[in-house]
């Protein structure tokens, strides 16, 4: 009995020591043993990071592999989207297309903040004249579609690719500024003008202070400090989705997995829904409903009076029709959408590395670098409050192994006899050609297939083209609760397994 008591005492003591060591290891470096978050030990911080928050209107798109490209015969026989298997990393995407009221908020902001630079406002204005047609009475839409409150929740059109990118940059800073205000770090500053405005990158480099309410504690000296990028509080930039991301999100193939444990899709998709028709097929209250806004036939944009099919002769509200299995609205029809990619025909003969890249494929890189001074610090921000960047030149890149040029939009063009783009002679393709996808209210059903693609110059707009924003996913691919795959997360607070 005495031996049993001694044994139990020893086990209890051992468990206490193990528990103490485990707890201590969570508060100290596993490499050096030095304590985290303690000024007496240097003040190195280990953040209590909860994971990337969802930005306004964003939905997490869990990445994976899929067959990118066409799923039906091409009537034009262009062969510019031959299927190939790729993998897309997880990312976030807007539930809806950017709406008129979203963009009017942007215009209101730049008009009232950049008071010394009215050209910024004029440059951002959408081209409402895209509604004009030589043989159609669309003049009322020229005056009403963008401005009238009846169309607040309709998709924005008439913006070119460059304007869409500018909107993404503006939105990034506005969302991060709001995060800091909601966390009690900054006070709102609605009256600031020109360069005295919040810009995420300017703030992180110390070139914008703002109206500080209460900064974060400084573990080094016991004072306060502003938010830094490695705090994980601020979100990555909003941007246009790549073509591969857009197509993957539109297909939403996760809806074809029989169970969460399967690594197989039961069928491919022609559209963002199952089947080869545009009507909802499941036997419930939605059976027979039209799934998208498109042109059903010559002269038929919405059906007959008393029984309208898509209920829209041109654009429809951004949350009309059923969302796909990712929860995204109008990934087919309504308006086409800009992607980030520079257009090149992709064929089985193509030898371009960009076309052969099977993880996050993207053509359009123009590498940039921050403009710095002699001390290696960012130079003074510009007159609009933004840090200055410049494109990487070829001389800087020549000694690198992973890329050799600063601008690789035309990577390997002309390196083979059958790959030449003679603009104005045999092609309209240039580095200004940008991919748009999805089909619109004026397109036939064929263009609603996510694999189909077209292009337009980056400085041109159209009444059938809008856009939505995307954002990278930082960290675990399956979201904040899981690492992803058949693994588990150990955070000290929760262990959650994805398998049974």
What distance in Å separates the CA atoms of residue 470 and residue 473, rounded to the nearest whole number? 10
What distance in Å separates the CA atoms of residue 294 and residue 290, rounded to the nearest whole number? 10
Mean pLDDT of the chain: 86
Q: Which CATH architecture describes the domain 47-183+233-365+408-500?
A: Alpha-Beta Complex (3.90)
- Residue 159 in contact with residue 467, Cβ under 8 Å? yes
Grade residue 21 by pLDDT with cuts at 50, 70 and 90: very low
* Closest to 438 in 3D by CA, of 430, 448, 428, 446: 448
Grade residue 83 by pLDDT with cuts at 50, 70 and 90: confident
Residue matched to tokens 């992973």 = 402
Q: Count the neighbouring beta carbons within 10 Å of the beta carbon of residue 146.
A: 23
Grade residue 266 by pLDDT with cuts at 50, 70 and 90: low
- Residue 352 in contact with residue 344, Cβ under 8 Å? yes
Grade residue 385 by pLDDT with cuts at 50, 70 and 90: very high
Grade residue 495 by pLDDT with cuts at 50, 70 and 90: very low
Mean pLDDT for 15-21 is 41
Check pLDDT > 90 for residue 288. Answer: no
HEC profile for the chain?
Answer: CHHHHHHHHHHHHHHHHHHHHHHHHHHECCCCCCECCCHHHCCCCCCCCCCCCCCCCEEEECCEEEEECCCCCCCCCCCCECCEEEEECCEEEECCCCEHHHHHHHHHHHHHHCCCCHHHHHHHCCCHHHHCECCECCHHHHHHCCCCHHHCCCECCCCCHHHHHHHHHHHHHHHHHHHHHHCCCECCCCCCCCCCCCCHHHHHCCCCCCCECCCEECCCCCCEECCCHHHCCCCCCCECCCHHHHHHHHHCHHHHCCCCCCCCCCCCCCCCCCCCCCECCCCCCCCCCECCCCCCECCECCEECCEECCCCCCCCCCCCCCCCCCCCCCCCCCCEEEEEEECCCECCCCCCHHHHCCECCCCCCECEEECECCCCCECCCCCCCCCCEEECCHHHHCCCCCCCCCECCCCCCCCCCCCCCCECCCECCCCCEEEEECCCCCCCHHHHCCCCCEEEECCCCCCCEECCCEEECCCCCCCCCCCCCCCEEECCCCEEECCC
* pLDDT at residue number 325: 94
- Residue 478 in contact with residue 61, Cβ under 8 Å? no
* More confident site: 36 or 412: 36
Q: pTM above the 0.85 mark?
A: yes
What distance in Å separates the CA atoms of residue 234 and residue 216, rounded to the nearest whole number? 14
Grade residue 492 by pLDDT with cuts at 50, 70 and 90: very low
Q: Where are the domains of the chain?
A: 47-183+233-365+408-500
Distance of CA 110 to the CA centre of its chain: 22
pLDDT, tens only, 393-407 = 999 999 999 999 999
* pLDDT at residue number 72: 77
* pLDDT at residue number 368: 96
- Residue 365 in contact with residue 387, Cβ under 8 Å? no
For 360, the token pair is 């996050």
Least confident range from 90-104, 309-323, 425-439: namely: 425-439
Least confident range from 22-31, 42-51, 333-342, 443-452: namely: 22-31
For 494, the token pair is 């929760």
Mean pLDDT for 159-177 is 98
pLDDT, tens only, 200-231 = 999 999 999 999 999 999 988 888 999 999 99
| Percent of the chain residues past pLDDT 70, beyond the cut | 83
* pLDDT at residue number 70: 84
CA contacts within 13 A on the Cβ side of 270: 13
* pLDDT at residue number 491: 37
* pLDDT at residue number 420: 61
């Amino acid at each position: 009995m005495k031996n049993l008591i001694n044994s139990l005492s020893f086990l209890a003591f051992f468990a206490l020591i193990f528990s103490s060591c485990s707890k201590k290891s969570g508060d100290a470096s596993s490499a050096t043993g030095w304590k985290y978050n303690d000024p007496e030990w240097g003040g190195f911080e280990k953040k209590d990071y909860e994971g990337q928050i969802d930005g306004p209107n964003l939905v997490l798109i869990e990445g994976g592999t899929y067959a990118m490209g066409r799923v039906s015969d091409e009537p034009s026989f262009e062969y510019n989207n031959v299927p190939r298997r790729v993998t897309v990393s997880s990312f976030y995407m807007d539930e809806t297309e950017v709406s008129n009221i979203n963009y009017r908020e942007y215009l209101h902001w730049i008009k009232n903040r950049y008071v010394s630079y009215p050209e910024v406002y004029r440059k951002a204005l959408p081209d409402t004249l895209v509604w004009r047609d030589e043989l159609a009475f669309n003049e009322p839409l020229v005056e009403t579609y963008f401005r009238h409150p009846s169309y607040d929740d309709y998709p924005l059109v008439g913006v070119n690719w460059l304007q869409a990118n500018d909107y993404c940059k503006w939105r990034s800073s506005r969302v991060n500024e709001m995060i800091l205000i909601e966390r009690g770090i900054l006070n709102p500053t609605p009256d600031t003008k020109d360069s005295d405005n919040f810009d995420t990158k300017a703030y992180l480099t110390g070139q914008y202070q703002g109206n500080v309410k209460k900064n974060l504690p400084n573990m080094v000296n016991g004072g306060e400090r502003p938010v830094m990028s490695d705090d994980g509080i601020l979100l990555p930039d909003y941007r246009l989705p790549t073509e591969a991301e857009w197509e993957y999100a539109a297909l939403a193939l996760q809806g074809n997995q029989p169970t969460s444990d399967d690594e197989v899709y039961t069928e491919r998709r022609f559209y963002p829904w199952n089947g080869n028709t545009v009507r909802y097929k499941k036997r419930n209250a939605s059976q027979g409903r039209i799934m998208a806004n498109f042109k059903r036939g010559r002269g038929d944009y919405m059906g007959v009076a008393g029984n309208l099919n898509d209920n829209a002769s041109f654009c429809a509200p951004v949350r009309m029709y059923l969302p796909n299995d990712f929860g995204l609205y109008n990934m087919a029809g309504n308006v086409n959408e800009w992607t980030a990619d520079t257009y090149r025909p992709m064929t089985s003969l193509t030898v371009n590395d960009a076309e052969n890249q099977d993880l996050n494929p993207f053509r359009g890189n123009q590498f940039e670098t921050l403009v710095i001074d002699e001390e290696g610090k960012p130079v003074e921000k510009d007159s609009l409050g933004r840090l200055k960047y410049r494109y990487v030149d070829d001389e800087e890149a020549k000694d690198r192994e992973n890329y050799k040029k600063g601008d690789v939009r035309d990577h390997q063009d002309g390196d083979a006899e059958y790959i030449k783009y003679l603009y104005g002679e045999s092609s309209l393709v240039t580095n200004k050609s940008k991919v748009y996808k999805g089909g619109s209210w004026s397109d036939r059903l064929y263009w609603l297939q996510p694999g189909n693609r077209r292009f337009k110059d980056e400085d041109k707009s159209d009444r059938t083209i809008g856009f939505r924003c995307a954002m990278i996913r930082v960290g675990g691919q399956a979201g904040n609760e899981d690492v992803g795959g058949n693994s588990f997360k150990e955070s000290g607070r929760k262990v959650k397994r994805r398998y049974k």
